[in-house]
Amino acid sequence: MLQAPQRTGLSGPTLIRLLTRLTDVDVPESRQSLSDHLSQWLGWTDAIALSAALNTRPPVIAPGARTFSNAEERECQRVRTTLADAIASDTAATAAKRPLPGQASAKKPAAIAEAEADYSNFRQRYQSLQHTMETSVGNLRSRLRGMVAAKNGEMTRLAVVDAIMDRALLPKERALLGVIPKLLAGHFERLRLAEAAEAAEATDAPITPGAWLDVFRKDMRSVLLAELDVRLQPVEGLLAALRAS
């Protein structure tokens, strides 16, 4: 039975706990507070802009901007569902070299499994899905931010702060999330080697060739969905502000 390595999990978002469990990287839990981390990630120009947004009177927004409604709630849910469905369908078929309907394949199952066992295919799909998530969530966040700004007063200040944080932290976010496909490469190889070892030692029931790929696809899907949750956190914050206004 193929299993992911058992690691002592960290507290925090599901994404962090999943990566801790699936990779062989031993990362101690940080003792720094969130504010300490942010102080390291923000450049001095970002800090000045943030200070100005927090300490000056927010700009007055001209009337006539689009207001928040159930339509926006539905759009947020649609974006989440669309991205989750894309992740599910993509990871289920990643690297599969299946024949078209009605087309016979001369390959045996074991040969098909071997043809699929190229991590570059999975890495490219993961990166493509990351790009799709960043674009879709970014557009949604900008749309909601405009509605928050249209409220004036402290809500406008919140929108300005969100815009500054979005611009300042996006490079760091890309760098950190961009490491995930590299981390999963090790998990991919460990599962492959584990199946090979089990097949060599099997004396009774035969090992199903390529079963480890199904395990990897499931794990990759879980990581992508957890990453989607992290990316949507600013959107959830803006939604909460709009509901409360």
Q: Would you say residue 10 lies in a domain?
A: no
d(C-alpha 52, C-alpha 160), whole Å: 10
Going by pLDDT thresholds of 50, 70 and 90, the confidence category of residue 70 is confident
Residue 189 falls inside a structural domain: yes
* Of 182, 210, 176, residue with least CA distance to 196: 210
Inside any domain, residue 115: yes
What is the C-alpha separation between 87 and 90, in angstroms, rounded?
Answer: 5
- Asked if the structure places residue 195 within a domain, the reply is yes
Q: Which residues contact 16 (CB under 8 A, 6 or more apart)?
A: 10
What percentage of the chain carries pLDDT values higher than 90?
43
Residue 20 belongs to some domain of the structure: no
pLDDT score, position 33 = 75
Higher pLDDT, 20 or 222: 222
Three-state DSSP at 69 gives coil
Give the chain's mean pLDDT: 81
Total number of domains in the chain: 1
CB < 8 Å & 24+ apart, contacts of 116-121: 116/210, 116/213, 117/192, 117/210, 117/213, 119/185, 119/188, 119/189, 121/94, 121/95
CA angle 102, 108, 113 (to 5 degrees): 100
User: Could you tell me if residue 12 is inside a domain?
Assistant: no
Residue 141 resides in a domain: yes
Burial class (CB in 10 A: 0-12, 13-18, 19+), 146: middle
- Are 119 and 189 in contact by the 8 Å Cβ rule? The answer is yes
- Let me know if residue 104 belongs to a domain: no
Residue 11 is given by DSSP the state S
Which domain range does residue 224 map to? 43-52+67-92+109-244
C-beta of residue 215 within 8 angstroms of C-beta of residue 22: no
Over the stretch 78-114, which tens digit does the pLDDT of each residue have?
999 999 999 999 877 664 544 444 444 444 455 445 5
